[in-house]
Amino acid sequence: MRASDLLHPRPEGLYCPPGDFFIDPTRPVERALITHGHSDHARSGHGTVLATQQTLEIMALRYGADFAGSSQAAVLGETQTIKGVSVTFHPAGHVLGSAQIAVEHGKTRIVASGDYKRQADATCAAFVPVECDVFITEATFGLPVFRHPPDTEEIAKLLASLQQFPGRAHLVGAYALGKAQRVIRLIRDAGYEKPIFIHGALAKLCDYYESQGIALGDLRPATVEGGSKGDFAGAIVVGPPSAFADRWARRFPDPMSCFASGWMRIRQRAKQGGVELPLIISDHGDWDELIRTISETGASEVWATHGREEALVRWCELQGIAARPLHLVGYEDEGD
């Protein structure tokens, strides 16, 4: 069987004909295997969903308990068979519950990585390279310019700025699932024990992370009821980036706009977004992580998807690895 007969793109998403299932479909399908809980990968309305327990719980938090007809939890490292196709979930190191999915049939093994990173992250299980014939890699930061620094250095910048500008509220833009909790956890690990204020959109997911044993310390709602603007002077406020451009942000004194994202590597991106303190912290692997991972899987063929595929394809060619872009519709290649 050719690899492309085992998995190939369809309008709904990546499809496995012998197993009759989709991986991370962007439209409702009968059977879906889901790598992680970000909304462009995990949609509601599928017939049955197979995902890790944590991903299922995150989907239930976001979409309600009836997010799918039925669901089944996949245990990391345990293989199960769907219509003769072996399927195994392995940790992807992206966000809590995230997984790569290895699909095996006959002598062909394909690993769909979903989104992944290799930097250590206290809020989720670390990525495990899985040997395979075909590796489907994300390419969000698939250009040699993306080199993420150690996340601790970025957090040190934030804490230094708090010292330097004690009158300003530091507004840290971070996506609600994964990034926000990781940033908060990193701040705690750097020894900051004061309350951290969070936007309402983060509350449920932060509670969920706590319930999974990831301590986030004293979190308080970033509301002004009964208090004054001045209460936020020198405070850290974490919220989704979209909220900071909104009227919501007016409650804070002289806000310092910080944004935790891999895109912050590019100065112009920071400047355009009005970001004063860019924090280069990403859920996705940088260029070095991507090419290291491709090598470690030993794959003889690479399919690159959502992002800047052409540079990764070029790099693979230079290494003598067959590679092509995999055109899947519906994912945000601006994921951060």
By the rule CB under 8 A, 194 interacts with another protein: no
By the rule CB under 8 A, 156 interacts with another protein: no
Q: In the chain, how long is the greatest CA-to-CA distance?
A: 67
Of 62, 249, 301, 333, the residue at the interface with another protein (CB under 8 A) is: 249
By the rule CB under 8 A, 28 interacts with another protein: no
Tokens at residue 160, please?
């230094």
By the rule CB under 8 A, 145 interacts with another protein: yes
By the rule CB under 8 A, 140 interacts with another protein: no
To the nearest 10°, report the CA torsion of 272, 273, 277, 279: -110
Least separation in angstroms between CB 317 and another protein: 9
**DSSP, residue by residue, 209-275:** HHHTT-----EEE---TTS-GGGGTT-EEEE-HHHHTSGGGGGSSS-EEEEESGGGGSHHHHHHTT-
Of 65, 164, 191, 193, the residue at the interface with another protein (CB under 8 A) is: 164
By the rule CB under 8 A, 278 interacts with another protein: yes
Tokens at residue 146, please?
């993306």
By the rule CB under 8 A, 311 interacts with another protein: yes
By the rule CB under 8 A, 310 interacts with another protein: yes
By the rule CB under 8 A, 315 interacts with another protein: yes
By the rule CB under 8 A, 139 interacts with another protein: no
179-189 helix and 203-211 helix, angle to the nearest 10 degrees:
60
Of 144, 221, 227, 230, the residue at the interface with another protein (CB under 8 A) is: 144
Site for another protein in 203-242 (CB under 8 A): none
Contact 138, 294 (CB under 8 A): no
Strands of the sheet with 46-52, listed across from one edge: 8-10, 13-16, 21-23, 31-33, 46-52, 68-74
Region from 49-57, 104-112, 140-148, 229-237 binding another protein, contact rule CB under 8 A: 140-148
> Measured between alpha carbons, how far is 217 from 107 in angstroms, rounded to an integer?
48
Closest CB to another protein among residues 195, 274: 274
Least separation in angstroms between CB 309 and another protein: 11
Q: Which of 263, 118, 140, 120 is nearest to 185 (CA)?
A: 120
> Measured between alpha carbons, how far is 49 from 33 in angstroms, rounded to an integer?
6
By the rule CB under 8 A, 273 interacts with another protein: yes
Closest CB to another protein among residues 107, 247: 247
Of 20, 131, 189, 254, the residue at the interface with another protein (CB under 8 A) is: 254
| Cβ atoms < 10 Å from Cβ of 143 | 18
Site of interaction with another protein (CB under 8 A): 143-147, 149, 157, 164-165, 244-250, 254-257, 265-268, 270-278, 308, 310-311, 314-315, 318
